[in-house]
Amino acid sequence: MFNRLKGTRDIFGYDSKILDYIRNTFFDIAKKYNYSYIETPIIEEAELFIRSSGETSDIVSKEMYLFKDKGDRNLALRPEGTASIIRAFVENKIDNLQQSKLFYFGPMFRYERPQKGRYRQFLQGGVELIAPKNELNNFEIIKLAYDFLKKLKIENLVLEINNLGSIQTRNEYIKKLKSYFEPYKKDFDELTLSRLEKNVLRILDDKNLAELDFVKNAPKLLDYLTVDEKEQFNSLLNLLKAFNIDYVINPNLVRGLDYYNDIVFEFVSSSEALGTKSTVLAGGRYDGMISEFNGPNLDSIGFAFGVDRIMEIIKNDCQNIEELTDQIDILIGYTSDFDKDEIVKIAYDLRKNFTVHLINQPTTIKNLFKQKFNLNPKLLIFKELNSKPMEIKIKNQELDETIIYSDSSDISKILK
């Protein structure tokens, strides 16, 4: 007897319908915004993620699946999507290394404690907009995320947003923040001490420290933005207001990866499905990554969302989504081998346009109606024993009427 590994899961039945619903909704929204699908390998050189995410990030320090292959290369199962997408963009010279709009969807891997909505193999979707930094491009990414979550009918979401400023602005702020935290370091654990030295911003992002007074009272990066940075940020906030997208400025929001700069944001859910406030979609700008990967000096912004968390929310909060109904279009069967060829031909003709369940063996009228009760089709099509040569009956579930027809095109007319 074999069992799945801890932190993984099998997706089937109702869960698979929710997954299809999320995937199809995301693909539909992304294509409406003219983004192109891209798929990258699930294994990459480990250095790709170490360099982009930062040595002090949780991904690199605690969560990456690392291994050596037979060529003694250091490899990793991809823990997130952005670094792989930018690697692919530069390596393949996508869109001639000019402006590009890309989206992805697939499995990622992180070794963390499994819990509701969190798995060691998890599904993530995301978008990356490679284009000049301005408020309209920033807004497009947030609006795309907003439209996606709204189309999924997810409520109780809060958009939290912050501005990390330019590298120069942030470096000045980091000096002030280090000085501020210095008197408290006697109370820091080993990880927090490491962050104080290597990436002090991560202290602000630590969920265990966030509610402590000395963290709440830390200097705010927004106070150190330049005049131009404040104006650009306010322009984005005005766009959000103009489109009635509510937001909260969270001055301690820094995100967990080193590559972020300027605009960062999260959509946070208060759904009881996850047991606590949880981020379901997050992103921001990462303007330096493309040049760091030996590409041109192009700006970029994107977001990613956890599919598994969204699945939990939909299961708990969104019970009446039409796309998740089990109803099929047609149930079709025959009662004798004499009618088999005719019924099978009709079934396969109808499968060109409709969802059809064909009973692949002779059945009885009683069993057909029992199957009708279980499958709830819109139409039941059958030919009774000893009926006239071309007399096939269509039972309309909604209208509760039976029609006798002699032309297969009649069925299409009824369903349309």
Q: Mind listing the pLDDT tens digit for each residue in 144-160?
A: 999 999 999 988 899 99
- What pLDDT is stored for residue 311 in this prediction? 94
Q: What is the 3-state secondary structure (H, E, C) of the chain?
A: CCCCCCCCCCCCHHHHHHHHHHHHHHHHHHHHCCCEECCCCCEEEHHHHHHHHCCCCHHHHHHCCEEECCCCCEEEECCCCHHHHHHHHHHCCHHHHCCEEEEEEEEEECCCCCECCECCEEEEEEEEEECCCCHHHHHHHHHHHHHHHHHCCCCCEEEEEEECCCHHHHHHHHHHHHHHHHHHHHHCCHHHHHHHHHCCHHHHCCCCCCCCHHHHCCCCHHHHCCHHHHHHHHHHHHHHHHCCCCCEECCCCCCCCCCCEEEEEEEEECCHHHCCCEEEEEEEECCCHHHHCCCCCCCEEEEEEEHHHHHHHHHHHCCCCHHHCCCCCEEEEECCHHHHHHHHHHHHHHCCCCCEEECCCCCCHHHHHHHHHHHCCCEEEEECCCCCCCCEEEEECCCCEEEEECCCHHHHHHHC
93 shares its domain with 156: yes
Q: What is the pLDDT of residue 254?
A: 79
In a domain, 286, yes or no: yes
Handedness of CA 24, 28, 31, 35 (dihedral sign): negative
Both tokens of 197, joined, read 């030295």
Structural contact between residues 256 and 95, judged by C-beta atoms closer than 8 angstroms: no
In a domain, 280, yes or no: yes
The residue-averaged pLDDT of 218-231 equals: 90
Residue 81 labelled as part of a binding site: yes
**CATH number (domain holding residue 153):** 3.30.930.10
Residue 251's pLDDT band, with cuts at 50, 70 and 90, is confident
Neighbour tally for 167: CB within 10 Å: 12
Do 354 and 313 share a structural domain?
no
Same domain, 242 and 275: yes
Residue 221 has pLDDT above 90, yes or no: no
pTM of the model as a whole = 0.86
* 44 within 8 A of 86, measured Cβ to Cβ: no
Predicted confidence at residue 408, as pLDDT, reads 55
| 283 band by pLDDT with thresholds 50, 70 and 90 | very high
Average pLDDT estimate for 354-380? 88
More confident residue, 55 or 245: 245
Under the banding of pLDDT at 50, 70 and 90, the label for residue 185 is: confident
Whether 344 is covered by a domain: the verdict is yes
Least confident piece of the model among 81-85, 202-206, 240-244: 202-206
Of 334 and 105, the one with more pLDDT = 105
For tokens 């006697």, the residue is: 186
56 against 274, higher pLDDT: 274
Q: Average pLDDT in the 396-411 region?
A: 56
Last residue of a domain, one of 317, 351, 376: 317
pLDDT score recorded for residue 387: 60
For residue 178, being part of any structural domain is answered with no
Return the biggest CA–CA distance within the chain: 94
Mean pLDDT of 108-117: 84
Q: Would you place residue 209 in the very low, low, confident or very high pLDDT band (cuts 50, 70, 90)? A: confident
Domain match, 274 and 408 both: no
User: For position 381, what pLDDT does the model report?
Assistant: 85
Q: Is 63 annotated as a binding residue?
A: no
Q: Are 109 and 247 members of one domain? A: yes
* Annotated binding residue 99: no
- Residue 95: is its pLDDT beyond 90? yes
pLDDT tens for 291-327 read 999 999 999 999 999 999 999 999 888 766 777 777 7
Average pLDDT, the chain: 87
Mean pLDDT of 179-198: 83
Q: Is 115 annotated as a binding residue?
A: no
Confirm whether residue 256 is marked as ligand binding. no
Total domains present in the chain: 2
124 belongs to an annotated ligand binding site? yes
| Residue 348 sits in the same domain as residue 233 | no
Q: Any known ligand binding at 165?
A: no
Per-residue pLDDT tens digits for 372-387: 888 888 888 887 766 6
Last residue of a domain, one of 294, 317, 340: 317
pLDDT value of position 197: 81
> Is the pLDDT reported for residue 407 higher than 70?
no
Range of weakest confidence among 18-27, 93-102, 256-265: 256-265
The answer on 335 and 252 residing in a single domain is: no
| More reliable by pLDDT, 247 or 271 | 247
**Contact criterion met (CB below 8 Å) for 270 and 263:** no
Nearest to 127 by CA among 110, 117, 141: 141
Distance of CA 406 to the CA centre of its chain: 48
pLDDT value of position 386: 61
First-to-last alpha carbon distance for the chain, in angstroms, is 48
Note whether residue 255 is domain-resident: yes
- The tokens for 179 are 């000085």
Residue 201 lies in a domain: no
Q: Say whether both 306 and 360 belong to one domain.
A: no
pLDDT of residue 61: 65
382: in domain: yes
| Domain carrying residue 400 | 327-413
Using the predicted structure, report yes or no on whether residue 272 has a pLDDT greater than 80.
Answer: no
Q: Which residue has the higher pLDDT, 364 or 114?
A: 364
In this structure, the answer to whether residues 62 and 161 fall within a common structural domain is yes
Q: Are residues 18 and 80 in the same domain?
A: yes
Q: Which of 1-10, 53-62, 189-198 has the lowest mean pLDDT?
A: 53-62
| Same domain? 335 vs 313 | no
Instruction: Based on the fold, state whether residues 127 and 265 are members of the same structural domain.
Output: yes
In a domain, 270, yes or no: yes
The pLDDT assigned to 151 comes to: 95
> Residue 183: what pLDDT?
87
CATH of the domain at 376: 3.40.50.800
The residue among 295, 317, 339 that closes a domain is 317
